[in-house]
Structure 1
Amino acid sequence: MTVWDRPEPPHRPVPLDRRRIVAAAVVLADEGGLEAASLRKVAARLNAGPMRLYGYISTKEELFDLMVDEVQGEILPEEPPGDWREALQGLAHRTRRAALRHEWLADLLGGRPALGPNGLAVAESTLAAFDGLADVDTAMHAVETVSAYSTGAIRREIANLRAERATGLSQRDWQRASGPHMTRMLATGRFPAVAKFVYDGTHTDAETSFATGLTWVLDAVAIKLAPPSSA
């Protein structure tokens, strides 16, 4: 039985429900990461004993499932997408923006499918855009391919943001600090391909890089979804 199927216990002197518990956990995780959203710390935020929470949530994993579903509500599109490309592109960008608001989300992306009401609503909106366009297996491969790209790109961006906070160096500051070492290494002539990318490549911001890579992936998916040529 999932956490969504299990009924909540009746209210006691300190009123609790899963919505309040999840809201407190999201705030704590936003402030200090997933480790800050332990059941003990959530209970303390709600001025309740930790054992009270176990009537509503049995495990840390259940709490994380509920937190992800809460954020899935932010990812759900306001209007049904016009086609499959709009559905996948919008989903990827909304997921990225949600992860920038809730960095802990990046640690939970890419796991088992979300089974909460918001997660299922996101899946329904996305998969419905393929109705009549492709068979089920092709549609799933398309969704999984774009999801794999966006999950990897989002995790890399969040990792860079965390590194900036940990070191106190922005990406540009880190590049300047690493510059002398890279110059010495590239001067050896052992890394000509790396040197070409370092000296000739255009360095874009994270949002532009994400959008560009997403476009390339969607273009590749479009080829697979195109009807076979009659020639």
Structure 2
Amino acid sequence: MLVWERPEPQDRPVPAPLSRERIVRAAIRLADADGLDAVSLRKVAAALDVGPMRLYGYIATKEELLDLMVDAVYSEIQPVGDDWREVLHSLAQSIRQAAHQHEWLADLIGGRPQLGPNTLASGEAVLAAMAGVDLDVVVPAVDAVNAYVIGAVRREITERRAERATGMDKTQWQVTYGPYLVRTFATGKFPALSRMVHDGPHLDADQTFRTGLDFLLDGIKARVSG
């Protein structure tokens, strides 16, 4: 029986009350502070001031705990809108916002299917908004949006982590590597790249995400209307 269906043991108020929700919230606090490496059943038990063995009545493995953590965050991802485009846009923005608040989410989304109730509710809202559209369009359209968001979010989180690890933000990186690019482009071997760097738009992360998402939604609209 999966963790979503397995009943919790009856709580014992002494020495400390316990529930799956308390366990998951403690794990999320650890992950938010120090990443997924900080999450283990032993460390979560310590944070809750209980023995590790007490947790096994609620959660059998760390993989179950990670699944529960993802689903808990999906309670924050509830796409809304008056039509399918607004709902898909809301879905994308909500996932991105959640990943910025919980960076570890970027390491877990896009793996095996998530089947928790909050995740299913999010998927239900998206599919309900696309009712009436042929499923041959709906399924790849939703997959494309999810793939775009996962890729964009992972890139952004990777850049954040790199900045923290190196101590170099985007401006400092440009100062450090700019002279090398100037010399390289001066050889004339990379005219297309040189034109892009000199004449192309320089968008920030928010603008890049919104522009790419609009391109994708425009393409979906063409297929829906076709």
Normalised by the size of structure 2, how large is the TM-score? Answer: 0.95
2:175 alignment partner in structure 1 = 176
- Unpaired runs of 5+ residues, structure 2, are none
User: 1:108 & 1:189 partners in 2: Cα distance?
Assistant: 42
2:135 alignment partner in structure 1 = 136
1:200 alignment partner in structure 2 = 199
How many Å apart are 1:156 and its aligned residue?
0.5
How many Å apart are 1:114 and its aligned residue?
2.1
Map Cα deviations across residues 64-104 of structure 1 (whole Å, 9 max, x no partner). 11011111011114xx5211101100000011011100000
Structure 1 counterpart of 2:131, one-letter code: D
Structure 2 counterpart of 1:21, one-letter code: I
Structure 2 counterpart of 1:147, one-letter code: N
1:114 alignment partner in structure 2 = 114
Q: Which moved more, 1:156-165 or 1:190-199?
A: 190-199
How many Å apart are 1:224 and its aligned residue?
1.0
User: 1:55 & 1:117 partners in 2: Cα distance?
Assistant: 20
User: 2:141 & 2:112 partners in 1: Cα distance?
Assistant: 17
Let me know the Cα RMSD of the aligned residues.
1.2
Structure 2 counterpart of 1:198, one-letter code: V
Structure 1 counterpart of 2:76, one-letter code: E
User: 1:126 & 1:34 partners in 2: Cα distance?
Assistant: 29
How many Å apart are 1:35 and its aligned residue?
1.0
Secondary structure, counterpart of 1:75 in structure 2: coil
1:96 alignment partner in structure 2 = 96
1:187 alignment partner in structure 2 = 186
Secondary structure, counterpart of 1:74 in structure 2: coil
How many Å apart are 1:105 and its aligned residue?
0.6
On the 8 A contact 1:186/1:192 being kept in 2, the answer is yes
Q: Say if 2:78 is the partner of 1:84.
A: no
User: 2:210 & 2:102 partners in 1: Cα distance?
Assistant: 20
2:71 alignment partner in structure 1 = 69
Map Cα deviations across residues 30-80 of structure 1 (whole Å, 9 max, x no partner). 001111111111111001111211111111111111011111011114xx5
User: 1:201 & 1:138 partners in 2: Cα distance?
Assistant: 33
Normalised by the size of structure 1, how large is the TM-score? Answer: 0.93
User: 1:39 & 1:203 partners in 2: Cα distance?
Assistant: 44
Map Cα deviations across residues 121-156 of structure 1 (whole Å, 9 max, x no partner). 101111000111x22232111100111111101110
Q: Say if 2:36 is the partner of 1:37.
A: no
On the 8 A contact 1:81/1:125 being kept in 2, the answer is no
1:2 alignment partner in structure 2 = 2
How many Å apart are 1:172 and its aligned residue?
1.4
On the 8 A contact 1:9/1:56 being kept in 2, the answer is yes
On the 8 A contact 1:69/1:117 being kept in 2, the answer is yes
